[in-house]
Structure formats: structure tokens, C-alpha cells
Amino acid sequence: MPTEFTPLASLGGGILIGFAAVLLMANFGRVMGATGILAGVLMPNHSGDRGWRASLLAGMISAPTLYWLISGQTVAVQVPVSTTAMIVGGLIVGVGVTFGGGCTSGHGVCGIARLSPRSLVATVVFMIAAVVTVYITRHVVGGAI
């Protein structure tokens, strides 16, 4: 499985994510954790913040269409695993988000920027789990998942 190296696109995406996180914190005092935002739309509480959550998710979903309209190119998405592996992986991530008190975007982007010790530990654990998972799937199982 080759890995695509896209430093400029990655830098641009990182800048946009960071800018969005700063705007959300500045305007609403909220951390931009994608799973928390999704959970707030699917299972809203009574704090009245469903509107900005839905708007942010709509932006995440509509961005590929906007890219296509501007560039005339579709966004190429390649998924090198089976549907079963994606479902199992999604469930594992959901469990991890629950026990970790947040996701990689909440801890990794916003928590580290705020120098949160809990987020620093969570991000290190996320990265170790990612390295172990990639090693197992590529070198032990052989990418046959």
C-alpha cells in the first residue's frame, strides 16, 4: 500500500482546521472535537447549540462539492479495506472516543493548543495505537483486512 505524500494540500488542510478551531473557540468558547459536534447534533441537549454544530457538519460534508465546483475535479477517495473492517474500526473508534473523553481533533488540535495535560496524554495514546494498528495491518496481517 503506497502512501500519498501531499505536503502542500496537507498544510492547507491543517491551516483551515486550525483556523476553524480558533474561530469556534473565539465565537462560542467551544472546543472543536468532531465526534462531540456530531453527538450534539444526533443527541442534542438543551443548551441551544445545535445550529452551529449542524452548520459545521454541513460544511464538512459540502466541502468536496465546493472543491469540485471550483476545480472541476472530483475528490479521489480510496479505501484500501473492506466494509466490514471499516465498520469494526468505526465501532472501536467510538468506544475509544467514549473512554478517552474526546477524539483526535478535540484532543490533538484543540487540547494540545491549550496545553491540556489530559489531551497531551490522550494524543500520545492515539498515536501509539495508530502506529501499532498500521504495523499489524501491513506487516502481520499483510493488508488483507
Give me the pLDDT at residue 117, please: 93
Give me the pLDDT at residue 133, please: 84
Mean of the per-residue pLDDT values for the chain? 84
Give me the pLDDT at residue 144, please: 59
What are the residues whose beta carbons fall under 8 Å from the beta carbon of 4, sequence distance 6 or more? none
Q: Is residue 145's pLDDT more than 80?
A: no
What are the residues whose beta carbons fall under 8 Å from the beta carbon of 1, sequence distance 6 or more? 80, 138, 143
Per-domain residue ranges of the chain: 7-140
Any idea which residue has 472543536 for its cell? 32
Is pTM, for the whole model, over 0.95? no
pLDDT digits (tens, 9 = 90+) for 57-114: 898 889 888 988 998 888 777 787 788 988 988 888 888 887 878 888 888 888 888 8
For residue 140, with 0-12 CB atoms within 10 Å meaning exposed, 13-18 middle and 19 or more buried, which class applies?
exposed
Percent of the chain scoring above 90 in pLDDT: 14
pLDDT digits (tens, 9 = 90+) for 36-46: 888 888 887 76
Q: Say which amino acid occupies 5.
A: F
What are the residues whose beta carbons fall under 8 Å from the beta carbon of 98, sequence distance 6 or more? none
> Does residue 96 contact residue 4 with C-beta atoms inside 8 Å?
no
Question: How far, in Å, CA of 136 to CA of 129, rounded?
Answer: 10
Give me the pLDDT at residue 67, please: 85
- CA nearest 1: which of 140, 145, 143? 143
